[in-house]
A and B are shown apart, each in its own frame.
Chain A
Amino acid sequence: MTDEVIKAENLTKIFNRSLVAVDHVTFSVREGEIFGFLGPNGAGKTTTINMLITVLKPTEGTASVLGFDIVKQANEVRKVIGVVPQEYTADEDLTGYENIMLCADLYGIPRDIAKKRALELLELVELTEFKDKRVETYSGGMRRRLELACGLINRPKVLFLDEPTLGLDVQTRAATWEYIRRLKKEYGMTLFMTTHYLEEADALCDRIAIIDHGKIIVTGSPSELKDSLGGDIITITIKENADVTDIIKSIENVKEVREENGAYRVKTAKGEATAPLIIEALRRKGFTVTRLSLTEPTLNEVYLEYTGRAIRDMEESRESFIAQRITLRRARGR
């Protein structure tokens, strides 16, 4: 009746009665779009996804997927969604083909249809040649593609991707984005994904929600969010030790000036035209500009603006988390 495929209202998850992982989150995802949750590790992205895919029960609030309530009609939800988890969940002791067929069995897809579809999907993610090799011989990118294929075996209408390129190198990441775009086009699905990579959110998502400490801070398309910053950012350093905020502020198009570590961060429209005006105005008052840079806003600036810190700060803990997972996987190889 509506084109809202996922609807969440005040969705909340509290662990052990004290740890608020997701805090009254409200959002909706429209049919056919790629909607992304962008935020650092521990922001509540995975917990949100786990509630939507019926693995966790919300403590408070409701959500529905294609009109099915995630608690009351969990089994209906499960039938129409596909899930590509953050971890490599494929069984390493089985072959790629066996893994897909296992998923098919779990969904109860008739065997003959499943066989045909499994081969089709393996072709699509370019794993046909490796289909009878055990997954333990697969590289990270191949495993990711296998997870994608498994998540599509039931022809889901909504696909959930949790950190789809976590731990992949830059090249493999770009290739994986390509697969995701192709799969979406091929099957006409709605995608809900989480990521902590700004480039990823920018490259893939139609709309994103920035989430931090379990709360959605802002929602919009990447370009809307960038525009909301009010244009370009000029960073200026001057030779003299003086406060020139008011001088810069008086110039046309300048929206905001902030001093940061001895440099002035100027938010302005039409950056290319404003920069010379700033230099000129400062020179006239007797100040010398020693350095000037002009950046068009990226999601990085957006993120910085809304959360007050750079997402990069969180990366290190993430990488060590991945390293731990890899160790864990090795340890398993009895």
Chain B
Amino acid sequence: MSEASAPEECKPSLARGLWALTRRELKKWLNDPVMLVMFVLQPLIWMGLLGKSMNIGGLFSANNINLQGPIPIPSNAVISPPVPPGTTVFLNGTLLSQMIDEMGSSIMQNTFGVTDYFSFMAIGMVSMIVMTTTMFSGMSIVWDRRLGFLDKVISTPVSRAAIIFAKILNATFRAMFQATVILALAYLLGLQFSSTFTPLNLLGVYAAIFLLGVGLSSVFIAFSIRSTRMERPMQFVSLITMPLMFASNTFFPVNLMPDWMQAIAKVNPLTYLTDAIRRLTILPMDATALILDFTYLGLFAAVLATIGIVLAWRYLTR
């Protein structure tokens, strides 16, 4: 028999197992240049096409209205000071376009909180990518199971929690990475930070992404760990992403939606993530609103992670 007996020297720790399994996942995509390029390309395409094509600001500008020459004001209009009846009053075109531009800005400001839609949408894009990435990354556990890797890991003394947390961390890290890419791209394409923005706010952005990532990915991991095929979780993701994306403030403000949709948006965690990130970047600081956002995201992460981990745990000790 060999002199060094195994049990004494095996000291499996949660931290080490967690780090080893997470590093494995990160290596998998960092080692793959094609994957990495796709990761950057995907948000770039979305931003470039969607962000710049939906020029909502342009809708509400004078350039959008045909103003040639003076415009007659209808005779029944109430004009101050009063003019004699029958007089035709004309409005100066330049003055009018100025007025329209001001009104447009004020509509934009009231609707989106900022005057340019691009900044509003770019942050929505961050939320969207965080959502899809966390969902898809959790699914890799289906492969681990099918290829026997999961069973091998289960047969080692590594903590069961490390197996699940490594997946969650991987999904969340990926989401953070993509969010960073999007924010940087958006900045280059003209995103305007608010006056209260400081680089320190980015920490808050990451914290918010982390919370949503943990919540969403643990549910998906618990769901995927039970399926033997990739198709089912894939189908589920495509079913759920659209409603989550549109019944939230990701691309459009909630208060202009019909009541029933507002009700969904109010419980949709994506709304709180998007709101939190907007307040930390493009909107002026509002501590009360921010605390509400983080409380909701924190609760969401805690509840869903608990459910997810309990379900996954049950599977791991079947």
Contact = CB atoms under 8 A, between A and B. Distances in A.
Contact of A86 (B1, B148, B155): B148
A98 B27 CA distance: 10
Contacts of B13: 108
A269 B166 CA distance: 63
A80 interface: yes
B259 interface: no
Contacts of A89: 147-149, 151-152
B157 A102 contact: no
Interface string B137-155: 0000001001111011111
Interface in A112-156: 113, 150, 154-156
B19 A187 contact: no
Contacts of B154: 54-55
Contact of A93 (B11, B20, B32, B155): B32
Interface residues of B, number: 37
B318 A155 contact: no
Given A107-B10, A108-B16, A55 B155 contact: yes
Interface in B1-31: 1-2, 4-7, 9-13, 16-17, 19-21, 24, 27-28, 31
30 contacts: A55-B154, A57-B317, A79-B7, A80-B7, A83-B155, A85-B148, A87-B148, A88-B148, A89-B151, A91-B149, A93-B27, A94-B24, A94-B27, A94-B28, A105-B16, A105-B17, A106-B156, A106-B157, A106-B158, A107-B10, A108-B11, A108-B157, A109-B9, A110-B11, A113-B9, A155-B2, A157-B5, A328-B147, A332-B143, A332-B147
- Top 8 closest A-B pairs, CB basis? A105-B20, A87-B148, A108-B12, A78-B157, A106-B156, A106-B158, A108-B11, A53-B155
Given A54-B154, A93-B31, A109-B10, 5 more contacts: A88-B148, A94-B24, A107-B156, A110-B11, A150-B152
Interface of B: 1-2, 4-7, 9-13, 16-17, 19-21, 24, 27-28, 31-32, 35, 143, 146-149, 151-158, 317-318
